[in-house]
Structure 1
Amino acid sequence: MEKFINHIQLGYLGLLPFLGCVGWPLITGSSAINLEFFTFYSIAILAFMAGNLWHAGQQTYADAIKAVLPIIPIAFLSFLPPAWILAWLAASFWLVLLFEKSTPQWQNYHVDYQKMRFVLTGVVFVCHIFVIGISVYPE
């Protein structure tokens, strides 16, 4: 368990900016800067999570592609409305979790880490839904 405690703590700490981006517009009113920060932070965290699944030289080609699949369309999504980008990102966090659960390493992870990954993915998904609502109905 000890080798996972830092991962669990950092995982929950990484959730704070997501929660802040949901709470800030509720307090001050929505803003384009908040929406951009949330989107960029979400892309960064998603890329980090997907990148952690990429074990160069230790996996099949198909598994390597699955690890980066949610990130590849990001550049093309930038031409779409913010709500569509956020919807892709929200779904992609679930994809990354599903890909992680399908790896052989998942069985070696501590149950608390597995639980944390599910909780964080669920909370991040809900944050995306709230921010989509804030972006579609700003006031």
Structure 2
Amino acid sequence: MEKFVNHIQLGYLGLLPFLGCVGWPLMVGSNSVNLEFFSFYSIAILAFMAGNLWHAGQQSFADAIKAVLPVIPIPFLSFLPIEWMLAWLGASFWLVLIFEKATIQWQGYHKDYQKMRFVLTSVVFVCHILIIGMSIYPK
């Protein structure tokens, strides 16, 4: 368990910017800077999580594709309305978790880490839904 404690703590700390971006508009009103920060942070965390699935030389071609599938469309999402981009990002966090659970490594992870991954994915997904709602109905 001790080797996963830091990962669990860092995972929950990584939620703070997501939660802050949801709380900020509720306290001071919605603004475009908050929406941009949330989007960029979401992209960075998604890329990090998907990158953790990459095991060069140790995985099948199909598993390598799964590791990059959630992040390949990101540059093209900039041409879509922000709500569509956020919807893709929110759904992609679930996609990364599903792909991670299908790996051999998942079986060796401590149950607390597995639980944390589900909780983090759920909270991040809900934050995306809330931010989409705030961008549609800003006041």
> Which band: TM-score by shorter chain?
over 0.9
CA distance in 2, matches of 1:64, 1:8: 25
3-state DSSP class of the match of 1:75? helix
Superposition pairs of residues 1-139 of structure 1, within 5 angstroms: 1-139=1-139
3-state DSSP class of the match of 1:133? helix
CA distance in 2, matches of 1:125, 1:94: 8
Which residue identity is paired with 1:69? L
Which residue identity is paired with 2:111? V
CA distance in 2, matches of 1:58, 1:99: 15
Give, in angstroms, the shift of residue 119 of structure 1: 0.2
CA distance in 1, matches of 2:122, 2:104: 22
CA distance in 1, matches of 2:52, 2:102: 14
Which consecutive residues of structure 2, in runs of 5 or more, have no partner in the other structure?
none
Aligned-residue Cα RMSD (Å) equals 0.3
3-state DSSP class of the match of 1:30? coil
Which consecutive residues of structure 1, in runs of 5 or more, have no partner in the other structure?
none
Give, in angstroms, the shift of residue 78 of structure 1: 0.3
Identity of aligned residues (%): 81
Give, in angstroms, the shift of residue 34 of structure 1: 0.2
CA distance in 2, matches of 1:26, 1:80: 25
Listed one character per residue, the Cα deviations across residues 67-125 of structure 1 (whole Å, up to 9, x for unaligned) are: 11000000000000000000000000000000000000000000000000000000000
TM-score (norm 1): 1.00
Aligned length: 139
**Runs ≥4 in structure 1, deviation > 4 angstroms?**
none
Listed one character per residue, the Cα deviations across residues 2-21 of structure 1 (whole Å, up to 9, x for unaligned) are: 00000000000000000000
CA distance in 2, matches of 1:36, 1:44: 12
Give, in angstroms, the shift of residue 36 of structure 1: 0.2
